[in-house]
Chains A and B, each alone.
Chain A
């Protein structure tokens, strides 16, 4: 009879120091070696990891009250504006925000050397950040301006809240045009000169639980080097199946996570300010999700390898910007990681934007935490919608 486990049973084994934990990379070999049934009977948890640019990242910060008090209307941190349409001394610094005096792309391609993601990295690194704020002044909050220096320790709360992270799968980006293009998938050379991709493939969290059979609200995760939580589905959460031209399922599609954690627990090597020439600034986020092996079916997906997982190849010179659907074919992560793919008989060199060695380190760190009993699994109070929910993206029509 096949194995069935509960979260409570797995957590009891973690507390007793008896849980068997493998990384998503390790479990592939284990299943190949001894089959699904035997491995499912042995393994309690499979850990995953990813470390790539995730633009929908940011942090809620509470600065505390000055004397006299101030209702901060405009706030900047190291000259990067933060959103203040919330309570008096709270702000949200978004990873993609750039300084007000940044030339952006007016001198194309812009450099975007410093943005909100860099502010977050500097805060986590313990560096001093310049806070400037303006206000219109009120009877209860009379101060109209402030300029001071803050560090992460000075803040009451610093909550990393990323509304769309951990993309389940992503495009492999190419450029069919005759000119160099600068995209959020990096600089793409003309005439299919290179192909960039951005997931950790067989280590990628949502590829290893494509049905969302275990991931939901309350799932405890590795986030930026600390402990975080899945708090909702991410924006643009469209889980589904990636199919090849013959209609065979060859991977998962576009599920996303909304995640939250205490920035004060995190580490700068797992939240790295990032920029793409000619595109903008962002934040590279380290994120890892443990997958409880509740049954054999969950293990079957958790053990999918780079050979079995694929990405769609998309032209970023025309199809992507003009929202033309479809793709130029699919390629496996094993091919992408080999350093070249073949498209229409032409060999194209590939390069990743997300770090596979760091993803491996995250999955290993999470495994270590669980083995040591420092990290218990969070049982979701509600699972996120999976492919069966049939969620698809609504385009923005211009009326």
Chain B
């Protein structure tokens, strides 16, 4: 089953709950946390890669807890005019979405593999990687 990329938004009353534990323990879901953040008001945002047979039930559980669930619409795109195929990004992309093709030494970007960690935006010397919301 293909993973779903979702964004969860927690209120201050739910951000201290062991939500992920229940997703794994009670619904047998495979969780990959791509990004997690709690602001000073104790409101939280979590970007997840989620998969498993009981996916829909897991989502239902989240909503019942008062957590809003949205599909991840943020995506990373490459500005091909700016990219010089230098390769500086390839050592930092944890998902292998940016990889060097050999022997041409051209950098290939496979957006299907991208986990939107945004590392490439930081390390690209020419600012060729952009985020689209």
Contact = CB atoms under 8 A, between A and B. Distances in A.
Given A186-B123, A275-B127, A52 B92 contact: no
Contacts of B33: none
Interface SS of chain B: loop
B126 interface: yes
A351 B106 CA distance: 12
Interface-central residue, A113, A196, A337, A352, by most chain B CB under 10 Å:
A352
Contacts of A352: 86-88, 105
Interface string A264-275: 000001001111
Contacts of A274: 125-126
A274 B82 CA distance: 11
Contacts of B105: 337, 352, 355-357
Contact of A357 (B104, B123, B125): B104
Contacts of A51: 84, 86
A351 B124 CA distance: 12
A272 B88 CA distance: 15
A272 B87 contact: no
B50 interface: no
Nearest to B100: A339
Interface string B103-117: 111100000000000
Nearest to A279: B125
15 contacts: A51-B84, A52-B86, A113-B127, A194-B91, A272-B84, A274-B125, A274-B126, A277-B123, A284-B86, A339-B102, A352-B87, A353-B87, A355-B85, A356-B87, A358-B86
Given A51-B86, A186-B91, A186-B123, 5 more contacts: A269-B81, A284-B86, A352-B88, A355-B86, A357-B104
What are the 5 A-B residue pairs with the smallest beta carbon separation, nearest first? A351-B91, A356-B105, A194-B91, A352-B87, A355-B84
